[in-house]
Amino acid sequence: MEDTVLAFTPTTDFVPARRAGRAAAAAATAIRATEPRSFEELRRDAADLGVSGVHPTAVKALIGAYAALLLVFWLFFGGPETALTLGIITVLGVMFFGGLGGGILLADSVPRGVRGRSFGDFLEGRALIATGWISGREAFAQIIALPLTLLLGGVVFGTIWRLTAG
């Protein structure tokens, strides 16, 4: 009796593959992976996202708080001896948060022509997360608390550094 397995392809469909024909299935998957994909294929429309998901403004606030933290680092600690390190941190931060934020905003999009809820409605409503439903305010607090705490800590440490540096 021949075993049947499911092979996952980049086009998110499952293709049955026989164990004897794995090489052929791998070749077909490799061919599909190299085909160019349009921008619209990368969108993942979530029909209920506009009423149950995290609002895009919360993601933008998260990225903005980390950008402000980088700015604080440059303002307080920037100098000839730290420029290389801060430059590398800035490049890595832009790559990470640009990819993260862009990916979230692109992947979890409200379908075209559908109006999602406003940020105020998000805060007053509920949001569906991995562990269940929570209030929008609680979701936003969980998203923004750590970056704002780090930003405050950066300002405090930077101020102490500037006041005590000779």
Sketch the domain layout of the chain as residue ranges. 4-35, 42-164
pTM above 0.85, yes or no: no
Cα-to-chain-centroid distance, residue 80: 32
Tens of each residue's pLDDT in the chain, 166 residues: 454 444 444 444 544 544 445 555 555 555 455 566 666 665 555 556 566 778 888 989 999 999 999 999 999 999 999 999 999 999 999 999 888 888 877 766 676 777 778 899 999 999 888 888 999 999 999 999 999 999 999 999 999 999 998 6
